[in-house]
Chains A and B, each alone.
Chain A
Amino acid sequence: NAGVTQTPKFRVLKTGQSMTLLCAQDMNHEYMYWYRQDPGMGLRLIHYSVGEGTTAKGEVPDGYNVSRLKKQNFLLGLESAAPSQTSVYFCASSIQGAGGFQTQYFGPGTRLLVL
């Protein structure tokens, strides 16, 4: 199993450009998540999905859109990139664990620089 993979690994954008980050998982997990990691801020949830065709907002959703057309894929889109979106983006997936808690499995991250 490859686990959780992310494409691309690194990208440089100019302000106003658009791009899509792809997350794929081969563990048949129902839940998928997008986080951003900024220095001194830990990880913050952008959007998440509880299943194919469903998405929901997290803590910091503004400026991002997501889609979950297939169970194994979760796409994060930036329609008009801003320098404030310079960050490292992590995708994660999980399955509902016993007792209600979830172990999330993370991808290797995408480093995005917006100039």
Chain B
Amino acid sequence: GDSVTQMEGPVTLSEEAFLTINCTYTATGYPSLFWYVQYPGEGLQLLLKATKADDKGSNKGFEATYRKETTSFHLEKGSVQVSDSAVYFCALKDSGGGADGLTFGKGTHLIIQP
């Protein structure tokens, strides 16, 4: 079956540091890939997405590139802020167009210190 593996936290960084959160996946088909963010006490929000190989998703200074050859979708940001503190989930939706849900990783808790 499909699965998503991401680095487990917490990941603690200082403000303005460079961020990388690793995500690799296993899928039977050709998946679409997503990063969701969950701020404290809130639901998940879509951060960015990519639907085919070499696509780059970007939003709010975050970027991730769909690497089919390494089955990866690592999240990066050049300079993090305290407001980026949250839990980040990597997820996939396998090809086929069916309505069954996303497959999520376990989440990475990011803590940014001033």
Interface set of A (CB-CB < 8 Å, partner B):
4, 30-31, 33, 35, 40-45, 48, 50, 56, 58, 90, 92, 94, 96, 99-109
Contacts and interface: CB of A to CB of B under 8 A. Distances in A.
B40 to A, nearest CB: 11
Interface in B85-108: 89, 93, 95-97, 99-102, 104-107
Interface residues of B, number: 27
Contact of B89 (A31, A40, A42): A42
A58 B42 contact: no
Interface string B63-100: 00000000000000000000000000100010111011
Contacts of A108: 41-43
Please give me the 3 A-B residue pairs with the lowest Cβ-Cβ distance, nearest first.
A101-B32, A100-B97, A45-B101
Mostly helix, strand, loop or mixed at chain A's interface?
Answer: strand
B45 A48 contact: no
Nearest to B90: A42
B99 A102 contact: yes
Contact of A43 (B8, B42, B104): B104
20 contacts: A30-B99, A31-B99, A41-B106, A42-B104, A42-B106, A43-B104, A45-B100, A48-B99, A48-B100, A56-B99, A58-B101, A92-B44, A96-B99, A101-B32, A101-B49, A103-B46, A104-B46, A106-B44, A108-B41, A109-B42
Given A42-B105, A45-B101, A58-B101, A100 B46 contact: no
Contact of A107 (B34, B43, B102): B43
Contacts of A31: 99
B20 interface: no
Nearest to B30: A100
B100 A90 contact: no
A113 B104 CA distance: 23
